Amino acid sequence: MQYLNEYLKKIKNRGNEALASSILKTANDVSDKAISSFSFASHDIGLLLGNVQSGKTGQVFGAICKATDMGFPAFVLLTTDNVVLQQQTLERVKSDLEGFCICGENDSGLFMQNSLVQPVIVVLKKNARVLKLWANVFSSTGFMKGNPLFIVDDEADAASLNTLVNRNKQSSINKYLDVIKNGASSSIYLQVTATPQAIFLQTMMSGWHPNFVCYFSPGEGYLGGDFFFPSDKSPDCISFNETVINLNRVVLIRHLVVSTQLLASSAKVSNCLVHPSVRQAVHESFERKLRNELEWCRENIEADFKDAFRLEYKNILTQNSDLLSFDALFEQAKDLIEHNKVNLIIMNGKNEVSSESYSTGCNIIIGGNTLGRGVTFPGLHTIFYTRSSKKPQADTMWQHSRMFGYDRNPNLMMVFIDRHLYKLFSDINKTNNSIIAQVERGNESIKISYSSTLSPTRKNVLDNKHVTAISGGTNYYPFYPDNDLIEDLDKLLLPFEDSQPTYQVSIRLMMALLKHIKSEGDFNISAFSDILESLLAKEPTTQGILIVRRNRNIAKGTGAMLSPNDWSLGASLGSKVVLTMYKVTGDKGWNGRQLWIPNIKLPDDMIYYTLGQ
């Protein structure tokens, strides 16, 4: 049986040729980078990188089928620690994949009975009790002593990493994943996520830094970061909360206009998401406020509500010429309001909610952290985002971006958001694009940078001894520099005269200059070169500022390198990379050797994260 061909045939029979082509490309990519060269004697770890809600499951199934075709008999598919999600994943595996022995968490007997006669897929939650149980099952049967294991870890940056790394201990889930992985004769561990910040900042010695990375781009019709948070200006689908009077009412009426259009056009569902703080009391407060607004709509349905509904209808009409008539939508809205068909749903740790609750009808979901990973809201077109924190984590914020997806009409989308939050999301999107560009360029070392108001991920999974933050706006230079060939530096810098204060130059020239600089370790040349490479990944023609000064009589080991004038000059250019090249005379502690010394200052208000081994 050709497992991948059978799976692709099923996708095509559902009428999705483009998805089948994408899955085939991803499967071949994973094969080229890991499976085809697999030694059956190693434990390899890699990353499958996608976008939030861009269809990772289908790509994962393609990789599993490809690996089966190439001799892997056993698979573990890991989900986040959520009972409903694990069951949904198990049912989807059973529905989509044929020819496998498919086991849930309580199917150890079936696993043993099958004895790998059929290739097996075990679907497990990332729960310490469950993982310990199956570590024992794999060990006791002995099947994996002579067979490779293929592990797929969905949302691999959540729960799987060692949260006790800075205490010289190992967290339970991380420990049992190690036991399962290393208990097999060999393995491929495929991490899957749309937020790889924590994974790229794992050290090689940790065993969780990917040896290979595969990226799959979203398909046609996907609305993602570039749609909502483009780099040039805010799009029409963004409404800043600071500019809206009576915000709760405006959000509700917007959702009602969109819902009536969707439901009258044969859609099954229209969802609105209200995302305030993590506190449950705030969720309940929003629910009461929105219920009061619904009551206002009911009491004023032929008067003020009708006027407000008409105004929002006209606003949407400018973006969407396919709207049904006002009268038709208003009658639908009256039906929703008067017959209590607008469902207010609180979704948090206190209130468990199944996906069926918001799979049909007109719904407003209010919640906190439970609105994150693994939760998909169909027909989501209105988002009211007020959540904030003093120093938010980029990966967590992005995972809570439930507005991304395929079943969205771009002309009906609206995100109500604070300006500050919008700026943070825009910064995250720029870095995500940089990460993807670096992966596509084949960069071996992925560099991550954020504004000083953002952290890349939670601190407890980053090894403090090896992850370094380089701050923008700070001058960095080597105390003990050397040049490999000063003649090459002389040649590169020949066109630049000392008399000119600054020169605008390509970042690539800066990288060429740094290639000729050596340092004993106090100045990480490769880290700065990688950071410049990441800036080029964002924008290939990125420009910087070069300052060149010769005949500098600076003493070796001095506490300051730049002259006051050059320091002030560089500080005034806060948004640019500034590279200052001083050529010292060599008279003060340099053994009479002339030498070029660099001073680099990265753009202000940014922090660049670098990883040592």
Q: Which residues pair with 192 in a beta bridge?
A: 48, 154
What would the mean pLDDT of 9-35 be, rounded to a whole number? 95
31-40, 502-511, 530-539, 562-571: range with lowest mean pLDDT: 530-539
For 382-426, how does the pLDDT look when each residue is reduced to its tens digit (9 = 90+)? Answer: 999 886 666 789 998 898 878 899 999 999 999 999 998 999 999
- Rounded to 5 degrees, φ, ψ at 101 are -90, 115
Strands of the sheet containing 595-601, edge to edge, are 475-476, 595-601, 578-584, 543-552, 503-506
For 322-345, how does the pLDDT look when each residue is reduced to its tens digit (9 = 90+)? Answer: 899 999 999 999 999 999 999 999
Task: Output the pLDDT for position 2.
Answer: 95
Measure the CA–CA gap between 553 and 562, rounded to whole angstroms: 11
Residue 103 has pLDDT above 90, yes or no: yes
Residue 564 has pLDDT above 80, yes or no: yes
Residue 277 has pLDDT above 90, yes or no: no
Q: Which residues pair with 74 in a beta bridge?
A: 120, 149
User: What percentage of residues in the chain have a pLDDT greater than 70?
Assistant: 97
For 479-527, how does the pLDDT look when each residue is reduced to its tens digit (9 = 90+)? Answer: 888 999 999 999 999 999 999 999 999 999 999 999 999 987 678 888 8
Residue 307 has pLDDT above 60, yes or no: yes
Give which of 444, 381, 457 is closest to 158, Cα–Cα: 457
What six digits make up the tokens of 399?
């995972």
What would the mean pLDDT of 212-219 be, rounded to a whole number? 95
Residue 441 has pLDDT above 90, yes or no: no
Task: Output the pLDDT for position 260.
Answer: 97
158-172, 302-316, 323-337, 363-377: range with lowest mean pLDDT: 363-377
What would the mean pLDDT of 561-587 be, rounded to a whole number? 93
Report residue 572's pLDDT band, with 50, 70 and 90 as the boundaries: very high
Task: Output the pLDDT for position 124.
Answer: 97
In this structure, are residues 47 and 80 in contact, taking their beta carbons and an 8 Å threshold?
no
What six digits make up the tokens of 238?
């963004």
Residue bearing tokens 């020169």: 503
For 137-150, how does the pLDDT look when each residue is reduced to its tens digit (9 = 90+)? Answer: 999 999 998 999 99
What would the mean pLDDT of 111-130 be, rounded to a whole number? 96
Task: Output the pLDDT for position 344.
Answer: 97
Task: Output the pLDDT for position 387.
Answer: 67
What would the mean pLDDT of 115-134 be, rounded to a whole number? 97
Residue 283 has pLDDT above 60, yes or no: yes
What would the mean pLDDT of 52-63 be, rounded to a whole number? 95
What six digits make up the tokens of 1?
């049986």
Residue 84 has pLDDT above 90, yes or no: no
Report residue 353's pLDDT band, with 50, 70 and 90 as the boundaries: confident
Give which of 168, 90, 92 is closest to 130, Cα–Cα: 90
Q: What is the DSSP string of 567-590?
A: HHHHHT-TTS-EEEEEEE-STTTS
Measure the CA–CA gap between 185 and 144, rounded to whole angstroms: 6
In this structure, are residues 600 and 566 in contact, taking their beta carbons and an 8 Å threshold?
no
Residue 352 has pLDDT above 80, yes or no: no
Task: Output the pLDDT for position 207.
Answer: 92
Question: Between vectors from CA 390 to CA 389 and to CA 392, what angle results, nearest 5°?
Answer: 60
Domains and CATH numbers, the chain: 3-215 (3.40.50.300), 225-417 (no CATH), 459-611 (no CATH)
What six digits make up the tokens of 603?
């753009």
Measure the CA–CA gap between 263 and 528, rounded to whole angstroms: 54
Task: Output the pLDDT for position 559.
Answer: 61
The model's pTM: 0.88
Residue bearing tokens 């870095």: 431
Instruction: Please state, in angstroms and as integers, the Cα–Cα distance from residue 329 to each residue in 265, 290, 306, 309, 341, following that order.
Output: 10, 21, 11, 9, 15
Q: Bigger pLDDT: 521 or 294? A: 294
Task: Output the pLDDT for position 224.
Answer: 95
In this structure, are residues 547 and 579 in contact, taking their beta carbons and an 8 Å threshold?
yes
Q: Which residues pair with 476 in a beta bridge?
A: 600
109-123, 162-176, 358-372: range with lowest mean pLDDT: 358-372
